[in-house]
Every structure is written in structure tokens, then in C-alpha cells.
Amino acid sequence: ESKGMIGNIYSMGLALQALEASRDFYAPRDWDCAQAFAVVTNHTFELPMAIAQLLPALVGTSYLDAATLNCDAPTDLCSSLQTHRIPRGMMIQPGASHTPQESQDITVHYSIINKLQGTPFHYNISVTVPGDSTLLEVLERAEKKDPENFSFKTEQTFWGPMVVSIHGLAASENDRTYWQFRSSGKPLDEGVGSYRPKHSEHIQAIFSTY
């Protein structure tokens, strides 16, 4: 139903590790991980944490086996699940480099919404950024264009920068509140430092509770 996605793109690495390690503890059935691996092979992972969690599943082993790995031997993807070798698209040949391509500017519509705490507010802005910009760069452009309404703060985490305050309204563990980013009504599956909006996409930052 989720077309191979297990949770979200951040949880895929751990989910694939769990399926590999626990497959013998559940009712026996054929497990076809082709869809799940299609998700990860079609996605560009930039965060070291996400890559580190995904690597064990890609090589069909765990970090506990690192001391006994034979690096000269051919490695199969998810070997015990009878899948295929690591797709060429995921491997970078030695000496190869990616030449950045020029991208056209795009317009992103951005809204911040608070109906949860204090005085409600709802501000909208449209910003123009290079086509390969991250959502964090969109936020920075919005702040530069209208700092009175779109100022924000971030904290660095293992998963990249996390927005903890917008328009002076800070998330709180005690109040169980946070800023959730959505597109087309659905939460984004990446953080602001990785997600790259499309042209004319409408991103909403909604003050939420969990």
C-alpha cells in the first residue's frame, strides 16, 4: 500500500535492518524487498546518519560483522532475502565526480500557521530560489524578505538542522509541541536541510502537538 516505503525515508534503514534480523521470528512467508529497495535506490541520501543506517541492509550484514568482512568478495544486496547486487546508480566509481548543473529559479509558497498557542497567526509569503535549493534555504530567503514575520531558529541534530522556533514561537518538550512541515496536507518525509521543494509547491509550517 505504501509502495515500499516503511514509515518514512528516515526509518527505512532501521526497518530494513529489522526485517533482515527478525525474519525468522515471525510467521514464515516470502519477503520481497524489491519495492523497499526501489525506494532507497531512487532516493539521494545526504545525511551521514541515514546512510549509516542503510548500509547494513545494502550489504546484507550488520556492523557486528565488520571485523570479519572480506572486502575483496562480491557483495549482494540483502543476500539472505535473495535480492540482487547493489544497483549501479548507488555506487560512485573511483575518480568519478558529479558536475553540478545549472538550475532555473523556482517559486515556493510558504505559510506559517499557529492555532494552538497564544495569539493565533497565519502568514503567507512567496520566495524565489535556485531550483536545487533546500527547504532551509527557502526559510532563509523568507526571513530575509520579511524578518518580522518569518524569523526562525534551528538546532543541529544527527539528522540535520531542526526548526525549533518560528515567529518567536518555540517548540516545547514540556508542552509536547513542535513545528511540522507539510506539503499537500502531508508531513514531509525529510528535514528542512534535505528536502528540496518543487516549483510552485506550497509548504506549510504548522505549530502542532504530539
What pLDDT, on a 0 to 100 scale, did the predictor assign at position 91?
A: 41
Give the global pTM: 0.64
Residues with Cβ < 8 Å from 24, sequence gap 6 or more? none
Flag whether pLDDT at 191 surpasses 80. Answer: yes
- All structural domains of the chain with their residue ranges: 11-65, 106-209
Find out whether 199 and 107 touch, Cβ atoms under 8 Å: yes
Section 64-77 average pLDDT: 62
What pLDDT, on a 0 to 100 scale, did the predictor assign at position 36?
A: 76
Section 183-194 average pLDDT: 90
Percent of the chain with pLDDT over 90: 46
Encoded amino acid at 6, one letter: I
Q: Is 101 annotated as a binding residue?
A: no
CA distance 14 to 183: 25
Q: What are phi and psi of 129, to 5 degrees?
A: -140, 160
Q: Is 188 annotated as a binding residue?
A: yes
Residue 109, all three cell numbers: 509558497
CA distance 55 to 198: 28
Q: Is 58 annotated as a binding residue?
A: no
Flag whether pLDDT at 87 surpasses 50. Answer: no
Q: Is 53 annotated as a binding residue?
A: yes
Residues with Cβ < 8 Å from 150, sequence gap 6 or more? 110, 112, 123, 125, 139, 142, 143, 166, 167
Report for 49-53, 59-63, 148-152: range of highest mean pLDDT: 148-152
What's 42's DSSP letter?
T
Considering the four listed CATH numbers 3.40.50.970, 2.60.40.1120, 3.20.20.140, 2.170.130.30, the one that applies to the domain covering 106-209 is 2.170.130.30
Residue 120, all three cell numbers: 493565533
